[in-house]
Structure 1
Amino acid sequence: MDVHKLRELLEEAHGAQAMVHKDLFALGCWLYLNGKRTAGEKMIKQVVASIPETGNRTYLNAIKENIAGNERAWAEEIFAHLEVNELFQS
């Protein structure tokens, strides 16, 4: 599963503010990966909740249920700021 569609949905829903949501999603992935699962999951779910569910419910629910093991790939696919992505290199 990937988050390419989520990236597109964020850009459609939030326009110029989409980057804030993409950064928050990637930071949530980083926190989750580094053992701060509750905080990371809350950030990820908050971003997902900002997207209208109409026509996307199954996809959005799948994201919320499949965080573990996808953190690095999802952070890369969401196209967050370079500085956020660099957190995964350390």
Structure 2
Amino acid sequence: DGRRVLVIERDLNEPDRIVGELLQPGGYLKLIELGLEDCVEKIDAQKVFGYALFKDGKHTRLSYPLEKFHSDIAGRSFHNGRFIQRMREKASSLPK
């Protein structure tokens, strides 16, 4: 629709710190909607299908309700800095 966006970054280097990220399935669906799902590719992202809870020697699983979605839909766990770099690469590849 003709909108233009200016992205200002303090530093374009990958952050040098250990920070993980857990993107919920809804967040991954939003990336697909925005055409950004490739930003979680080639960064060692792992599919996440729910949670496991442990307490006092007992455990239970909580799975995301993904039955109505395509088989690729799941959460993603990855290194935050790699994701940021992929988003920057994607932004810089767009037409100006």
Structure 1-normalised TM-score? 0.26
Greater C-alpha radius of gyration? 2
Structure 2-normalised TM-score? 0.25
